Amino acid sequence: MDVLGGNHRPEAPWKRMSKEELDNQYSPSRWVVRLGAEEAMRTYSQMGNEVTKRARATGRSLLDVPYGESEGEKLDIYLPEAVSEAMPFLVFFHGGYWQSGRNKGHWDLEGKEPLMEPDTAPALCTGTLDRMVDQVTQSIVFVQTRYPSNQGIYLCGHSAGAHLAAMMLLANWTKHGVTPNLKGFFLLSGVYDLEPIMHTSENAPLLPTLEDAQRNSPLWHLKTAPTRPMDPACLILVTVGQHDSPEFHRQSREFYQTLCQGGWKASFEELHDTDHFEILWNLTQEDYVLTQIILRTIFQES
């Protein structure tokens, strides 16, 4: 029998998994429920392209706006018809396990508020996860600097994008000379502890050492060196799809619980009858529960 006391913590369940089990747990396409893996990827990519075309046709958009000096450091800005700098801004970070996907054709909220969608360089060599985190930080500094009268900047990320958004809870804004007006985080089916990822086939090259994984794990930082909330009123919504894998569920719940223990204003939602990829498609529907939560949060706070 186990006796818990002091700093002893139960062993994480993933540590008892084989490499094959970890590959399965951290491969979202294997958990889709209504389409095959390849069909799901193809279908949702096409849907994303269609929604993006509609958004560009019905509102004003600024494409490939540079927020840094590198070729890949650009963002797309989607604006409603009535443009004002004194508005809330939503910044979206796409997924793709840090290695694939670009900001074209991913997501929008039907022009309800300005949407920023930064691109980051693909992670093809050691150290580029650190680079991506730095790029995300740069993109937020850019938004705050370009729109200093904003009524709040809200970060939304899906999968690996949720991880990048969550890392902003730890950012040293003083180093950048700008403190962004961050009001909320919407983290969709994310990964927050990267140690299990370093043992999977696809993502092992991203995290060659334990130090790399820990340095880029918001959950690890919040547990070992808790960070005081930048703003006690800043809202953090952690969501996971009902049909996401058990490991995605565990990570989401553990991250939410750690946020609560650290004094952050966090909430948790399990999205009914939804898999990892359907979350994005559903989010293009104005009456979808998560879309409504995000809209209410932004406009009630602003």
Q: Does a structural domain hold residue 3?
A: no
Say whether 64 is catalytic. Answer: no
Distance (Å, rounded) from C-alpha 62 to C-alpha 233? 31
What does the pLDDT look like over 45-94, one tens digit per residue?
777 778 778 878 877 888 889 998 888 788 888 888 776 778 999 999 98
- What is residue 141's predicted lDDT score, i.e. its pLDDT? 96
Q: Does a structural domain hold residue 5?
A: no
Q: Does a structural domain hold residue 240?
A: yes
Q: Does a structural domain hold residue 62?
A: yes
Say whether 217 is catalytic. Answer: no
Compute the mean pLDDT over every residue in the chain, rounded to the nearest whole number: 84
- What is residue 118's predicted lDDT score, i.e. its pLDDT? 67
Amino acid sitting at position 78: Y
| Higher-pLDDT residue of 125, 20 | 20
Supply φ then ψ for residue 207, to 5 degrees.
Answer: -130, 80
Q: Does a structural domain hold residue 4?
A: no
CB atoms within 10 A of CB 77: 20
Q: How many domains is the chain partitioned into structurally?
A: 1
Amino acid sitting at position 228: R
What does the pLDDT look like over 112-169, one tens digit per residue?
455 656 655 433 333 488 988 999 999 999 999 999 999 999 999 999 999 999 999 9
- Encode 3-32 in three state secondary structure: CCCCCCCCCCHHHHCCHHHHHHHCCHHHHC
Distance (Å, rounded) from C-alpha 188 to C-alpha 201? 23
Query: pLDDT band for position 104 (50/70/90)?
Result: very low
Spell 148-172 as b/e; 16+ CB within 10 A means b.
eebbbbbbbbbbbbbbbbbbbbebe
76, 106, 158, 159: the active-site residue? 159
Say whether 2 is catalytic. Answer: no
| Higher-pLDDT residue of 78, 226 | 78
- What is residue 102's predicted lDDT score, i.e. its pLDDT? 52
- CATH number of the domain within which 138 lies: 3.40.50.1820
Query: pLDDT band for position 4 (50/70/90)?
Result: very low
Give the residue numbers spanning the domain of 135: 15-301
In Å, how far from its chain's centre is CA 150?
Answer: 21
94, 163, 221, 276: the active-site residue? 276
- Does the pTM surpass 0.85? The reply is yes
- What is residue 216's predicted lDDT score, i.e. its pLDDT? 94
What is the helix, strand, coil percentage profile of the chain, to 5?
A: 40, 15, 40
Parallel, antiparallel, or unpaired for β 115-118 and 74-79? Answer: antiparallel
Q: Does a structural domain hold residue 6?
A: no
Q: Does a structural domain hold residue 95?
A: yes
193, 244, 252, 275: the active-site residue? 244
Q: Does a structural domain hold residue 291?
A: yes
What does the pLDDT look like over 203-217, one tens digit per residue?
767 777 899 899 999
